[in-house]
Every structure is written in structure tokens, then in C-alpha cells.
Structure 1
């Protein structure tokens, strides 16, 4: 008969790495045994919320427990980001993080988490969505090259709208102006809807806007599409070429990915990652989101980690060079 004291001694005698591996192996046993919360830093109804709910609905079929999306807007998504970074690392509180994780450290360094790369663990990609450069019909440009020529001939006279200082479409515009060597006037708004209204009225002349938001006015002819911000064409606007055709290498998108708190056991991350891959691989979900101009991405943790690191560096550099400050 083997005594409990003997088993305990054998366990303590095992190498530390072996004990850690044993603990990790058992960490996912029974996971999940209760609902999983997925936090998003956006209000209900937008693309980020819609995508989060579609993915969560599909993930719960894999996990066998409800996956509940919780909207925690505020402080440029920092409310949701911080709540997850500080949550118990057990896999029951996850984050639908976005491009703001790469922007906030340079734009608003007082917001937490100050170092998302150290405080959050990437699980996998969810989606990418591009912006379309569209202009009021009064702008005498039919393509990106002509628009750049027009802006160069009229320095500072083109009013370029955005959904807010530091928003991805603002940074897209700032990078565009830097790469094109043009001077434009940035006019920030509180969201894309009021900016679009001003563009329709001709009080601003141009803006980069999410394809799905710009589509109605483009189809009615109120504005004219000149270029797509991603390296590839948008399936919703196949006739509009990428900006990269004029400015090689230009590739700006808004992205969303799933994160967990640092310290979440590897077996739990693997379980969540497998459920996420099943969701993003689902043809029905992909087709559903494509109708909204969203390209669902199946990417592993390494892809999301590389993206966050790369954009944290590139957006930080642009923000510093352009002297961009929050409102």
C-alpha cells in the first residue's frame, strides 16, 4: 500500500518544471463549468459588437457553456481592456480587443493597461475591416493619385474628417498625408455619423470611413470612393482600387482579436483558441460578416501577438512624429 506521505514526497521531489506542467495539464479539466464573459469596449450595435456576438454565439457551441458579451464602453476602450487585464486568469473573463490596444500606449499613456503586450495574452484574430477614402463630389478627383495632386495644389485647404482624434481612421488619414507628402486640415468629430453628415453637405471634403458605413452614400452617389485602405480590394466595393496602388505598401485596417489575462493556464488558452478557430472557420459566420464588409480572420495567438507588437510600434512612431494629442 502506498501512503499519502509517500505520494507527497514523490510530488515534491519532482522537478519544478514537471510540477508546473502537471498543474497546467489539469488546469483545463472541467473548463468551462460556468458561463464565460467576453468584454468589449464598444456600445451595442456597431460592427465590433455585432462581430463579438456572432463569434461568441458560435464559440459557445464548442465550449458547451454560454459565452456572454458584455459592453463596457469608456476611456477609449480602456475600461474593458483594464477590467480583463486585472481579472482572475482562469479563462472566464476574456476581451474582444481592437486596434486601440496598439494606439492608446502612445496617444494616452495614462490609460491602463499601459503595456498590453505584458498584461494581456493574445488568443487569436477575429476580423479586419478596411476604410474607404471617399470625397464630396465638389473635389475634382476621380482616383487617389488625382486627389493627392489636388491636395498638393491646395495645401491646407482640404478638410479631412474623422470619427475622433486618435481613432484608427484619423491615424489612417495622418499616415496617408505623411506618405503622400500633402498638407490637409484634420476635423475631428464625435463618431463617424456626424462626420459623414458634414461630408454629405460638403462642409468637409474627404475622410477615410469604414466601408460598411460609407456604402449607402457611395451607392446613392452622394460621395465618391477613391481608394481602399487595405492592401486588397473590398468585396463590397470591388471597383475601388487599394490606396497601395498609388502609395505602395499602404495597408491600414481596423482589427479585432480575442485576449485573456496574463497568467491564464495554457490548456485553457488552447481550449478557448480551438473554440475561436471553429467560430472564425465557420462558412456561415464568414458569409454573414462579409455582408457587412468585415473580413473574418482565422489567426493563431502568434499572428495576433505579432500584429499588436508591430502596430504598437508603427502607430506610436506616427503619433510622436505627427504630434497627435488626444482632445
Structure 2
């Protein structure tokens, strides 16, 4: 080999590597362009008929039309969303499996640390924060107080003697109330229920004093005069409930808390596929008629892309993790 041959051979090798990389990129691009070629499924880790299920089905139908493939909603309830999330995490990262999670997914990262068959962050690729559902604080009519300030004064005068309910340990409604106690110094006893409805029945009966839940759940009881509307945990009054004062207006600065619906995919799902789904979801939820339907259900429309969705999820994991540790919340 002469001294002139070496550079040529080196250049040839670099060129070959470049061609190989180019072919690989082209193959990935072609794969993304061909997607989807078969039905998709969105796993809902809760029972049919709930808020998450309704929001998912509202999005799935128009998503099916625009993608030209069926989008099947599969309910996989169990273990506070862990069963359904595990099924998604173990699925092939090919863009054909998604999961719609709630804040319980973020809370489980701390509550169930080391006990889950997946990592709440690393096992998933963020797709879209679809909607948020601000939490509303409701009070029983059996307490002689009519607004947020009045309830705070009533509870403060009876430390540990007022109960509050939630749909279960680690639910957003539970953790938001723990955060409320941390912020106000109030002391209440938690009564966890197996779902929202039994808690709501006991609120109406006066067996518990307070509970957080979504506006769509509580609105009929507010309108019927069965429970008191004490405040909504938003920065400003939402367009779907302009008559409802915020908890901030009630005297607790910067108190914001919401449930939310977020689409995730298995980790390593191709980014072009994630971007396509997120773009289509954003278009769907921002269509005026769909926006009105979602707002009627008490949702705030989001449709965030993958990057900001991932940032939001990490912030929620950190936020609820701090509440769980500070309040020493444990799963029994």
C-alpha cells in the first residue's frame, strides 16, 4: 500500500458509513410514512364510563377517521392504573399502542416506587397532554359555613375532628387535600372510598365535611343544592363555570390543582409517529364543536406536543412526590 492509497481507503470507509447511515434514516423515514397500516389501540387503565374513558373515546373516533385506521379503546383497570400502564409499557414501540393516564400515574412514581413493573417516566414516551380537569372543592351543607373562608375557620376550630373524603389513597382528590392541609395548617381525617360516588353520597349526608372532585361530577349536586361549591383550584375562573370563585379568591394564594388526561406510548416509539399523533390530537380537541363538548364536561383543552407534555409529566411527578413525602402518604 502506498502513502497515496491510505487516504483513499479511509475516505472510502467514511463514505460507506455515510451511505449506511443514510439508508438507515431512509428506512426509518419510510416506516414512519407508511404508519399506520393497521388498527391502533388506546389503553384506558380504568373502567368504562368514567371521565378518562369518556375523554379517550371522544378523541379516538375522530383520530380513527383522520388516520384511516380503527382506533380501539381497551379498558384495563386495576391497581390504580398500574395494570393498564404495565400493558402499554410492555407493548412493542411501534406506534400502535397508546395509554391514557391520569395524575395517579405521576403519583405512583412515588407511592409505588420500586413496586411497579415499569418506570413511570423512563418506560414511556410522552405523546400529548390532551385535557385538564380542574378540581373543585365541595363542602357538606351540614356545616354552618357557606364559603371557603368559613369552612377554613370551622375546621381550624376543630382540629382533627372534620373528615374529608376521596376516591382512594393516592387519587388526585386525596393528594390535593393533603396539599391544602399543608398550605393552610388545617388538620382533618382522610376517609378513602372505592370511587367518587360513595364519597359524594356521604358528603351529602354530612358524614364527611369536604371533598375535591371534577366539576362535571359535582355540578349536578351544586345545581340541586345538595352540596356547597367552595371554590375551584384554577388561577382564574374557567369559562365553563364563571360563577364559581377560585380557591385563590378564597384567600389561598397560588392554589392550583387538576386532574388531567395524557397520552403516552411505549418508550422508543419513533418520534415522527409521536409527533403525528400529537398534532392530530391537538387539531381534534381545538375544533370548536369538540372544544365546546369538552368544556361542557368541565375540561380545559390542551393538546400539547410531546416535548411540553414530557416536561409537564416530570413536573407532576416531582410535585406530587413532594406532597406524598411531606404528608407521609402511604398505600395500605
Q: Please indicate, yes or no, whether the TM-score normalized by the shorter chain is above 0.5.
A: yes
Partner of 2:254: 249
Partner of 2:120: 116
Partner of 2:212: 208
Q: CA offset at residue 113 of structure 1? A: 4.9
Superposed, 1:212-251 pairs within 5 Å as 212-245=216-249, 246-251=251-256
From 275, 278, 284, the equivalent of 1:273 is: 278
Partner of 1:180: 184
Q: CA offset at residue 182 of structure 1? A: 0.6
Q: CA offset at residue 29 of structure 1? A: 2.6
From 86, 94, 97, the equivalent of 1:90 is: 94
Q: Distance in 1 between matches of 2:16 and 2:70?
A: 38
* Bigger mean CA offset, 25-34 vs 13-22: 13-22
From 34, 38, 41, the equivalent of 1:30 is: 34
Superposed, 1:69-88 pairs within 5 Å as 69-88=73-92
Q: Distance in 1 between matches of 2:256 and 2:110?
A: 20
Q: CA offset at residue 316 of structure 1? A: 0.7
Q: CA offset at residue 140 of structure 1? A: 2.4
Q: Distance in 1 between matches of 2:119 and 2:331?
A: 18
Q: Distance in 2 between matches of 1:94 and 1:12?
A: 37
Q: CA offset at residue 88 of structure 1? A: 0.5
**Structure 1 segments unaligned to the other structure (5+ residues):** 1-8
Q: CA offset at residue 240 of structure 1? A: 1.8
Partner of 2:146: 142
Q: Distance in 1 between matches of 2:138 and 2:109?
A: 29
Residues 243-279 of structure 1: per-residue CA shift (max 9 Å, x gap): 1222111110001111111111122222222221221
Q: Which has the larger radius of gyration?
A: 2
Partner of 1:302: 307
Partner of 1:158: 162
Partner of 1:258: 263
SS at structure 2 position matched to 1:326: coil
Q: CA offset at residue 289 of structure 1? A: 1.6
TM-score (norm 1): 0.92
- Give the CA RMSD over aligned residues: 1.8
Partner of 1:53: 57
Decide whether the 8 Å contact of 2:275 with 2:305 is kept in 1: no
Decide whether the 8 Å contact of 2:275 with 2:306 is kept in 1: no
SS at structure 2 position matched to 1:29: helix
Superposed, 1:96-107 pairs within 5 Å as 96-107=100-111
Q: Distance in 2 between matches of 1:237 and 1:51?
A: 19
Q: Distance in 2 between matches of 1:100 and 1:111?
A: 15
Q: CA offset at residue 15 of structure 1? A: 6.8
Partner of 1:14: 18
TM-score (norm 2): 0.91
Decide whether the 8 Å contact of 1:101 with 1:308 is kept in 2: no
